[in-house]
Amino acid sequence: MFRLNPKLIALLLFCGAIAGVAGVSLIGLLHLIQQLVYGIVRTDGITFRNIVEQTTAIHRLLALSACGVIAGAGWYLLHRFAPKLVDIREAIGNNATPIPLVSTFFHGMLQIFTVGMGSPLGRETAPREISSAIADFIGRRFNISTEERKVLLACSAAAGLSAVFDVPLAGALFALETLLFSFQRNTVIAALICCTTAALVGRIGLGSRPAYQLPAITLNSPLLIWSLLMGPLIVAFSWLLQYQLACCKPAVRTSPKLILISIGAFILIGVLSMQLPEILGNGKAGNELLFNDQISWHYALALLIGKWLALLLATRAGAYGGFITPSMMLGGLIALLAATAWNSMLPPVPIVAAVVTGATVFLAVQQRMPLTAILFVLEITNITPDMIMPICLCLLTALSCQHGLNKKQS
């Protein structure tokens, strides 16, 4: 059984603080890049959605074209000349595989630069990867055991997530549910130590306001029935997205051709953004519209198609980034369209509640983290716990369908 000791507790506190500083620094850099690229000062109350909506369509096209050059050249050079990047899960599973600190740092910086310029991928992977690389570097200097290293890496990666979203509990659960696959008492304590420390540092640097301010949410009986029926639909869309993303991933990342592909792909994303500015960035722009019921079903359909295509194009370009917020945006859009169709024929369901349910369950299915997804959405929105019921009902049918699909494919 894994045991805590004073040295490991000190390392967890130290790496949690480092993850917090890294998260604050990277988000600060992200905001600075957004301001420089789009020429609008980001003050209180001004979000990235406001920034891109205030710029011209040509400005967005040029910004994404430049993003394609940086993404293509940057990742080509990184894969061609730098030490091989190591996935967090691979490093956790193999003690003999160190995470290259310098390569991972530049890899994370490329993610922040491209997302700041408008890449449709998420921002959370960079702080996770950089935090875990620093933790691995420190852990090896202190000669910790294989089991201690696994816990330190997983907790540090989750701490990066905790810092940028201010989600200490969801961050800890992310480490336990998706990286360690363990809920032993000592691993739970380790995750809470590291993630709470990171979230505290992040809160000092970034503030403590919820990521989304939602209106009062009403619930009714039709919503519960709708939630049960939505599960299979969400799984179908999630499976399709995963299949298409797998097909779009570059087979070879060390060819100069990837630079041209990246430029072409991001130009196409820029063309889409000329009419659909909310597809740019990690997806928060779309979520702000969805969670405040400020979007018609016509525009939601256009955004769903646009964001979906943008994610496929960015993947084909060889770009990296997270999928947490993009998944929430896609799930929310699908839910809004489904709820609108339902309301046209049957007893109506509250739109915002349906959107939150769809966003949470799509995130849970897409990232294979059902418990983390529920707690994550609760922490970033401060919604009433009453929402857990429709979310759980939707997850019930969604996870059953996902299990059936996985069993059939195996």
- Residue 211 has a pLDDT of 86
Same fold yes or no, 6-206 and 221-409? yes
- Residue 155 has a pLDDT of 97
Token representation of residue 150: 């696994």
CATH of 221-409, one of 1.10.1060.10, 3.30.450.20, 1.10.3080.10, 3.40.50.300: 1.10.3080.10
- Residue 376 has a pLDDT of 96
Give which of 236, 226, 322, 312 is closest to 268, Cα–Cα: 312
> Hey, where are the domains in the chain?
6-206, 221-409
Cβ-contact 395, 229 below 8 angstroms: no
- Residue 45 has a pLDDT of 61
pLDDT in tens, the chain (410 residues): 678 999 999 999 999 999 999 999 999 999 999 999 998 776 656 778 888 888 999 999 999 999 999 999 999 999 999 999 999 999 998 888 899 999 999 999 999 999 999 999 999 999 999 999 999 999 999 989 999 999 999 999 999 999 999 999 999 999 999 999 999 999 999 999 999 999 999 999 988 888 888 888 889 999 999 999 999 999 999 999 999 999 999 988 999 999 999 999 999 999 999 999 999 999 999 999 999 999 999 999 999 999 999 999 999 999 999 999 999 999 999 999 999 999 999 999 999 999 999 999 999 999 999 999 999 999 999 888 889 999 999 999 999 999 888 877 76
- Residue 274 has a pLDDT of 95
**173-188 per-residue burial string, b: 16 or more CB within 10 A, e: under 16:** bbbbbbbbebeeeebb
- Residue 73 has a pLDDT of 97
Rounded Cα–Cα distance for residues 180 and 145 (Å) = 15
CATH 1.10.3080.10 fits 6-206, yes or no: yes
Task: Compute how many other C-beta atoms are within 10 angstroms of the C-beta atom of residue 142.
Answer: 13
Q: Which long-range contacts (CB under 8 A, 24 or more apart) does 79-88 make?
A: 79/253, 79/254, 80/254, 82/106, 88/128, 88/129, 88/132, 88/153, 88/154, 88/157, 88/179
Q: Which residue has the tokens 């008492």?
A: 185
- Residue 1 has a pLDDT of 60
Could you tell me the pTM of the whole model?
0.95
